[in-house]
Structure 1
Amino acid sequence: MSPVDDLLQEIQNLLTGPGISYTSVSQPWDVYEGYLFSLAVSTASSLGASVHYKDVHGSTVNNLVFRTSPGRLYSTRHPYTHAVVEFDRAPALEVHLGVQVQGNSGVVHECDVLILPSDEAALSRQIRMAPRGNKCLLAIECKYYTAGPVDIGHARNFEGLHSDLRTARNLFVSNTGAPNVVKYLSARKRGYEREVVPANVNTVGYTRGQIREAFKIYLGKTAPSTVI
């Protein structure tokens, strides 16, 4: 199978049921973002959360429509899908793909995968403004390269994103490795995982651990009696 087909198969495995809008001719970087979305959702489920899917209108859906370019969380142009995650005794969360987020400066940034409280997402839909980064749990930057290492420029952009969004946690994930990117992000103590692909069970496990930590911090504040 091609790398895209591998990703598509793993998305189906992780989501266990719903249909998806990606196909074998979808761009690999788009499918990679969907893979990380699915990994976040699957991690929540493995930790005991209940998960279901809704579109922007609030309707429960079984066929998932994913963005292939960044957009507004509240846009009703297409019935894009997000996941609703509910841990015991904690306010609900949402997982979104390819949405804009407002930084501390007031500038709007693009987030490949975003986990945020449902009430912040609801406010975004109500007032039609990007959700506030400092209210969000986790922003994941996804980089998929079909040839060559990850460009250092992406790491620098991620550093700027981290500094302005002020989310509880940020994570840089790529399908390849690059020593200069590792040195750059390590020196700044930024979260990153490299060579994250379905076949690499170790790096996938490390990425799940980073996602779990974001949920753990959230539950520590909102539902400290809930153990994950």
Structure 2
Amino acid sequence: MSTISDLLDEIKSLLTIGSAPYRSTADLSDVYEGYIFSLIVSTASRNGASVSYEDVYGTKVNKLVFRTSPGQLYGDSQPFTHALIEFNGAPPLEVHLGVRVQGTSGVLHECDVLVLPAEEAELSRVQRIAPRGSQCLLIVECKYYTSTLDIGLARNFEGLRADIRTQDELFVSNIGSPSIVRYLAARKRGYERDVVPSSSQTEYLQAEIRKSFRKFLSKHTPSVVI
């Protein structure tokens, strides 16, 4: 079982930063979300994207501050950090932690990790409204548990996915659950289990993330190959 120190070390390594973007009181589940965020950013970088970090005001930053509770993308109670990802010739993307998006029903949903067009994120900040889930590229539901994963988690994820309707969605956990495997497989939903530092499953997750970037690029800059 990975410790907070393991996850924090991996976050710093993947993001090539000097200090961890969490306070010492952060929960394991929060840090796990940051770890998945880091895998997304690292995948983009490995596939030729330039990556930088900004706060909610659009200022470039080197010291990162990650959320440990859900909030609005435009929330400015603290200078929370998001990643800016730019593939050559394609519209820029942003990666956020713990922000709410609007579903097709008009209901707001929390996304553990969210990848969306920078244009949609900027609209959220300017108009102070939640971004539209239908305009987003990828949502990742992150579950870090020290005991069995309950099937209710997968059912909740299915409800989230059905209302948000992003391009892609993934359910990711640090441990496995046969019932969740069966449930999500029957619905053709993405599920990567046992994703922890140094596990082979990490590479499988990054392969799925790469597929999401490839779909995005095929629509905007099909000449770019990743």
Q: TM-score, normalised by structure 2?
A: 0.97
CA distance in 1: counterparts of 2:23 and 2:163, whole angstroms: 34
Aligned length: 226
Matches within 5 A, 1:53-64: 53-64=53-64
Query: In structure 1, what is the equivalent of residue 214 of structure 2?
Result: 216
Structure 2 residue 185 is the aligned partner of structure 1 residue 186: yes
2:34 counterpart letter in structure 1: G
Query: In structure 2, what is the equivalent of residue 68 of structure 1?
Result: 68
What's the CA shift for 1:96?
0.3
Structure 2 residue 150 is the aligned partner of structure 1 residue 151: yes
1:119 counterpart letter in structure 2: E
Q: What fraction of aligned residue pairs are identical, expressed as a percent?
A: 61
Query: In structure 2, what is the equivalent of residue 227 of structure 1?
Result: 225
CA distance in 2: counterparts of 1:26 and 1:207, whole angstroms: 24
Question: Secondary structure of 1:98's match?
Answer: strand
Distance 1:2 1:188, change over 3 A: closer
CA RMSD of aligned residues (A): 1.2
Distance 1:48 1:74, change over 3 A: same
For structure 2, the 5+ residue unaligned runs are none
For structure 1, the 5+ residue unaligned runs are none
Distance 1:18 1:93, change over 3 A: farther
1:187 counterpart letter in structure 2: A
1:20 counterpart letter in structure 2: A
User: Which runs of structure 1 show a deviation greater than 6 angstroms over 4 or more consecutive aligned residues?
Assistant: none
Matches within 5 A, 1:35-184: 35-146=35-146, 148-184=147-183
CA distance in 2: counterparts of 1:150 and 1:207, whole angstroms: 19
Contact 1:52–1:84 under 8 Å retained in 2: yes
Distance 1:52 1:156, change over 3 A: same
